[in-house]
Amino acid sequence: FNSPVFLFAFLPLSIWLFWRATEVRSRIQILVVLSLFFYGWWNPAYLPLIVFSIALNYWIGHRVATSRTWMIAGIAFNLGLLAVFKYTDFAIGSFNALTGSSLPMMQLALPLAISFFTFQQIAYLVECRRGQAPERDPLSYALFVLFFPQLVAGPIVQHREVSPQFRVLGVPIRSDLFAQGIFLLVLGLFKKVVIADQLAGLVDPAFASPNDLHFYDAWVAALAYSLQLYFDFSAYSEMAMGIAMMFGIVLPLNFNAPYKAGNIAEFWRRWHITLGRFLRDYLYVPLGGNRNGYARLFVALMITMVLGGLWHGAAWTFVAWGAMHGV
C-alpha cells in the first residue's frame, strides 16, 4: 500500500474506473478484475490456485445446508490447502529433527494471503451450514474473497458483513465516507512509513546479531519491536479500511489500542480483532467454550491459542508463543 506504483498508479486508476461505472453489476466486475490484477502482480502463477479455491468453495457452499459431509469436505479442502503450502516443510523438518532422517524439503512458495482467504471461506461454509443463505452470485462471492484492500492481511471479514454492501454499490458514495477513507489511508501511511519503518532501523540490526547485545540494547530492541509490529500491522489495517471506504465499503475494526489492555484476555479483544473473533466463533466455542466447566474451558483455551500461534507461522516458536498466551 505504501509503494509508489500502488499509491500513484493502481489506486487512482481503480477509483476512476469504479466511479465511471454506475451500475452495481459493473462495479462488482471492475473490483473483481482489479483484485485479480492486484493479486497476480505478486506472482501470476498462483492466480489459478485462488480462483480454483473460490470456485470450489462457492460450489460447496450451495450444498452444505443439506449435507454435513459437504461442510466437512469443504473445511478439509481449505485446511489441506493451507497445510500443504504452509506446513509441509515444517512437518518434514520436525520429523527429520526427531528421527535423524534427511528427507528433502519441498520448499513450496507460500501463496500470498492463503491464511486469510482460507479462514474467510471456512467461516462462510460454517455460516451456510448454520442457516445463512449461500451467495447466489458467483461474482459477488469472488469479490468477498478477493477484495484487494483486505485480501493480503485482513481484516478477516464475514460474508454477512460485506454482501449487503455489495448489493448497493451502485449508490453514489457519500463524500463524508470518502473523506474518512482518505484520512485513514494517510494515517496508516504515517504509522507505516514514519514510525514503523523508522523503528526497523533499531530492531533489524539487533535481531540480526542478538549475541552482540548488552542488557540495555536488548531491552530497547525488544520494546522497539513491539511498537514496530503494532504500528506496521495496525497501519495496514487502517489503510485497508480507508481504501475500502473510497469504494463505499466499510470493513470491521481490527485494532483498538491493544497496548492499553489490562490483561492478556483483554489484549486479544483489542489486537487483530477479526482473527480473535474467528478463533472464538469457529474454534473456541465449538470446543465447548466456557459452558462446560473449568476443565473444558482451559482445554478449549489452550487448543485455540496454540493453533492460533501456529496459524501465525510454521515454527515451534509460534507454538510456544501461542501456548504462552493460552496459559
Distance CA 138, CA 35 (A): 15
Other CB atoms closer than 10 Å to residue 172's CB: what's the count?
8
DSSP state of 153: T
Q: How many residues does the chain have?
A: 327
The answer to whether 113 and 39 are in contact (CB under 8 A) is yes
The answer to whether 109 and 137 are in contact (CB under 8 A) is no
- Known catalytic residues are 312
Supply the DSSP string of 155-168, one letter for each residue. Answer: ----HHHHHHHHTT
Please report, for residues 84, 107, 265, the alpha-carbon distance to residue 99 in angstroms, rounded to integers and kept in the order given: 21, 20, 38
Rg from Cα positions in the chain: 21
What distance separates the 2 farthest-apart alpha carbons in the chain? 64
Distance CA 78, CA 88 (A): 15
Other CB atoms closer than 10 Å to residue 232's CB: what's the count?
18
Report residue 240: phi and psi, to 5°. -60, -45
Please report, for residues 6, 128, 240, 289, 297, the alpha-carbon distance to residue 285 in angstroms, rounded to integers and kept in the order given: 40, 17, 29, 4, 10
Distance CA 114, CA 260 (A): 31
What is the CB-side half-sphere exposure of residue 22 using CA atoms within 13 A? 1
Report residue 118: phi and psi, to 5°. -65, -50
